[in-house]
């Protein structure tokens, strides 16, 4: 059976019925490309044993596929009109719909919607102790067409959670995907914030014409495979990223100036000489720029500055 939500005419009719006018701020660009949809679903490698979390299901084009192939889907939708429509459209699907801002709901709380005795429950209700323990141990996949405006925040929200997804397959802005998979020479805080937790792969490019309404830029299918352990071993990821953010604050500057200046700008009282000594201890030429520095090198810099942060 063909996915009924790929038809642009049906999309237009649904939007009119809901009196919904897609906005860039809400990231409401609805996928109408069957090939791109198939690429997402194939990359997710779904089975009836899988629990899937979907962010921003919209009119349900991806939800329809997920509920047919996965064991259960938890869809998080901010727009009440879309959430209500999804309930009407897929009443018998293995689906829990959570009306919420995904950034205000802990991923493990989403999982408790299906772990309390195997029945869907409300994400805003306190889970039982048994449900919380089950959620923390639950394996799940994050599969979504992410709104452009919150892509980075959503990825960090899930990757840094107590219960992170084992596999993430997301449709994101092409430029963001390229920044995430970057190698030394083009590294950014975003690349490091993802790569410390997961191995990223850009699977396919998706043209703007694959959406209604068409966005101003192309997209890409991005796959993140969770690492068994962090890419670098540090005592505090948060403090490591204080150093990375400081060094990247003025990315065009050489690190000999960028790191001391960035630490000062972020309120860390680290003398310039100590910052330069940390670069030297890590074997980093102070003439290099932040985009060339690997996670392993940043970890060495952090080790020297740890007590000052």
Q: Which residues pair with 224 in a beta bridge?
A: 168, 200
What domains can be seen in the chain, in order of their start residue?
A: 4-226 (3.40.50.150), 237-308 (1.10.8.100)
39: part of which helix (H) or strand (E)? helix 34-44
pLDDT for 114: 72
Residue 54 phi, psi dihedral angles, 5° rounding: -115, 135
**Nearest-CA neighbor of 240 among 160, 152, 151, 175?**
160
**Nearest-CA neighbor of 29 among 40, 50, 15?**
15
CB atoms within 10 A of CB 154: 22
pLDDT for 252: 86
Distance between CA atoms of 20 and 129, rounded to whole angstroms?
40
Instruction: Tell me the whole-structure pTM to 2 decimals.
Output: 0.90
* Arithmetic mean of pLDDT, 173-181: 97
Q: How far is CA 149 from CA 27, 145, 155, 229, in A?
A: 7, 12, 12, 29
pLDDT for 23: 61
Residue pointed to by tokens 């985009």: 291
Q: Which residue has the higher pLDDT, 62 or 128?
A: 62
Distance between CA atoms of 309 and 302, rounded to whole angstroms?
9
**Nearest-CA neighbor of 154 among 245, 242, 55, 230?**
55
Q: Which pLDDT tens digit goes with each residue over 55-114?
A: 999 999 999 999 999 999 999 999 999 999 999 999 999 999 999 999 999 999 998 877
Q: Which pLDDT tens digit goes with each residue over 130-149?
A: 444 445 557 999 999 998 88
Q: Which pLDDT tens digit goes with each residue over 43-66?
A: 999 999 999 999 999 999 999 999
pLDDT for 119: 41
Q: Treating both helix axes as pointing N-terminal to C-terminal, what angle do 237-248 and 255-265 enclose, rounded to 10 degrees?
A: 120
Q: Using an 8 Å Cβ cutoff, are 214 and 208 in contact? A: yes
What's the token pair of residue 283?
């074997």
**Nearest-CA neighbor of 158 among 85, 74, 243, 253?**
74
Statement: residue 122 has pLDDT above 80: no
Q: Using an 8 Å Cβ cutoff, are 85 and 14 in contact? A: yes
Distance between CA atoms of 14 and 200, rounded to whole angstroms?
35
Q: For strand 198-206 and strand 219-226, is the pairing parallel, antiparallel, or unpaired?
A: antiparallel
């Amino acid at each position: 059976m063909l996915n009924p939500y790929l038809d642009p005419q049906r999309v237009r009719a649904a939007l009119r019925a809901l009196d919904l006018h897609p906005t860039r701020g809400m990231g409401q660009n609805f996928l109408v490309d069957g090939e791109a949809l198939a690429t997402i679903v194939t990359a997710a490698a779904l089975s009836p044993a899988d629990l899937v979390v979907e962010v921003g299901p919209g009119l349900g084009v991806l939800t329809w596929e997920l509920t047919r192939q996965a064991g259960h889907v938890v869809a998080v939708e901010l727009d009440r009109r879309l959430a209500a429509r999804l309930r009407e459209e897929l009443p018998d699907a293995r689906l829990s719909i959570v009306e919420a801002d995904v950034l205000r709901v802990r991923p493990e709380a989403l999982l408790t919607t299906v772990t309390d005795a195997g029945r869907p429950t409300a994400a805003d209700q306190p889970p039982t102790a048994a449900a919380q323990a089950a959620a923390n141990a639950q394996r799940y996949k994050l599969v979504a067409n992410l709104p452009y405006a919150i892509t980075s925040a959503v990825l960090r929200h899930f990757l840094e959670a107590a219960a992170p997804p084992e596999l993430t397959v997301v449709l994101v802005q092409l430029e963001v995907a390229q920044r995430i998979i970057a190698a030394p020479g083009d590294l950014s805080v975003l690349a490091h914030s993802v790569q410390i937790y997961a191995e990223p792969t850009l699977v396919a490019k998706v043209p703007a014409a694959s959406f209604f309404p068409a966005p101003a830029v192309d997209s890409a299918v991005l796959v993140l495979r969770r690492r068994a352990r962090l890419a670098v071993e540090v005592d505090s990821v948060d403090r490591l990223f204080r150093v990375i953010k400081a060094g990247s604050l003025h990315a065009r500057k050489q690190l000999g100036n960028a790191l001391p200046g960035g630490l000062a700008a972020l309120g860390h009282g680290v003398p310039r000489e100590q910052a330069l000594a940390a670069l030297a201890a890590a074997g980093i030429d102070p003439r290099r720029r932040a985009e060339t520095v690997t996670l392993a090198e940043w970890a060495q810099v952090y080790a020297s500055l740890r007590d000052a942060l």
